[in-house]
Amino acid sequence: MIPLIVGCALFMQMLDSTVVATALPVMAASLGTTVVRMNVVITSYLLAVAVFVPVSGWAADRFGARRVFLAAILLFTLSSITCAASQTITQLVVSRVVQGLAGAMMVPVGRIILLRKVPKTELIKAMAFLSLPALLGPMIGPPVGGFLVTYASWHWIFLMNIPVGILGIALVLHYIRDDYPVEPQPMDWIGFLLSSVCLATLVSSFEAAGHGTMPARQLALLIGVGIVTGLLYVWHARRIDHAIIDLSLLRVKTFAISTIGGNLCRFAVGAAPFLLAILLQVGFGLSPFSAGMITFTGAIGSMAMKLVATRVLNRYGFRRVLIMNAILTGVFVALCGLFRADTPVWVMAAILIVGGFFRSLQFTAVNTLAYADLGPEAMSRASSFSAMAQQLGISLGVACAALTLNLSMKLRGDAHLALADVIAGFVVIGLIAALSALSFARLPANAGEQLRIKR
């Protein structure tokens, strides 16, 4: 039940972070503002998640993981209610910041509970359940948002979190035994300040690049601030014993390769729905709901993956699966660039289903292997580090796709988006995912051996 409970929390967060985009025009009209200004509703949430994720591991050790997890689900649910009740854009942004804070605590701390409670021999199966909602959220978000906006109202985008939150709290209270706070390390306030500025500026710049909402000079300045504060954090972290983001974890080879190679694959999580929405809505003229339903078919492959992930990894091992599957993941992302307006829906669905299967298998393997060689005392810090890296990876994927579209238009000498530009986007993202195989090739042949069950 623990992977299912944590997975529900992850699903709620991932769905909430993607479903809002579809409803922005309707929300703007309701609140008396413009769609451009409404973009702050998305960025405020992403910034809050990025800023507070590094604190999650320290909070779990200081107050107890179960207690923090429960508080985060409760706060996420209550802030969803205040989002739905907002009468102005200011009220909505404040509620979204609180919601982002709750999400930043909810998912990494839930993963800490899973890592502490689940035996390593069961970790593959547990991570298969946990990886599923991370992929389902971005796929289900567009059709759910389109449906609610079309047939109900934008308020239901937030109100649907209430029953999920109540169920989550009940399941945690019933199935997860209480744990006790461990002796926490001192809070690294300087590191928190530097990492907060770094993550906030980078995530906001990636988000702005993905939506083209910021002038180039301002965007370059924002990225520069992020890089400088990031370098200052590295300098600071090497001089203290208890940095808020523990860079010493990168000395563990399986964790480092899983984080770096996994994030290259994770580009597709943010970029693929972004590119598909442009291709199907702008290129083919489909409605948001119709486009979302086609995109959603990828979730079928993701769900099928959890039935075979354990057997595949037990039989072939992590290194071989990660190398071959990285290439296949990249190939099926690139194949989406072959879609045309007259392509049968069943052909598009078949490619998305198979691509969803390989992508889900890849993240199950990566998320499991990352913790293979870490002891219990490192799980809190590793979960915070991993959540931070994933947030950056998904944001950077959207930015990379948007940058490719803009460069392609400039090379053609045209200010209007064409099919060739979207094709270039899919090819670039697919190539990046496939190149992650070079990172996984550095793994030892017996990587993750202790996680496998020999038959």
Dist CA 189 CA 196 (whole Å): 10
**DSSP symbols for 172-236:** HHHHS-------PPPP-HHHHHHHHHHHHHHHHHHHHHHHT-S-HHHHHHHHHHHHHHHHHHHHH
As given in the structure block, the two tokens for residue 108 are 């990494």
pLDDT in tens, the chain (455 residues): 787 788 778 777 777 776 776 676 678 788 887 665 676 787 788 788 878 888 888 888 888 888 899 999 999 999 999 999 988 888 998 999 999 899 888 888 888 888 777 777 777 777 777 766 666 666 677 677 777 777 788 888 888 888 888 988 998 888 888 766 566 677 888 988 998 898 888 877 877 776 666 777 888 898 899 999 999 999 998 888 788 888 888 888 888 998 888 888 888 877 887 788 778 877 888 776 777 778 778 778 877 877 788 888 888 888 999 999 999 999 999 999 899 888 898 999 999 999 988 988 888 888 888 888 887 777 778 888 888 887 778 778 877 887 888 888 888 887 777 888 888 999 999 999 999 999 999 988 888 777 766 54
CATH 3.30.420.40 fits 1-182, yes or no: no
| Fold match between domain 1-182 and domain 248-455 | yes
Single out the residue of 41, 125, 137 nearest to residue 91, CA to CA.
41
Quote the pLDDT of residue 455. 47
CATH label, 248-455, candidates 1.10.1270.20, 3.40.50.300, 1.20.1250.20, 3.40.309.10: 1.20.1250.20
User: Which sequence spans correspond to the domains of the chain?
Assistant: 1-182, 188-243, 248-455
Alpha helix segments (H runs only) across 297-451: 298-305, 309-316, 318-335, 345-369, 379-412, 419-440
Is-contact 28 189, C-beta < 8 A?
no
The Cβ of residue 345 has, within 10 Å, a number of other Cβ atoms equal to 11
Tokens of 63: 């107050």
pLDDT given for residue 180 in this prediction: 60
Contact (CB, 8 A) for 250 and 389: no
Q: Which token pair is 310? A: 């354990």
Q: Are 5 and 120 in contact (CB under 8 A)?
A: no
**What pLDDT score was predicted for residue 291?**
75
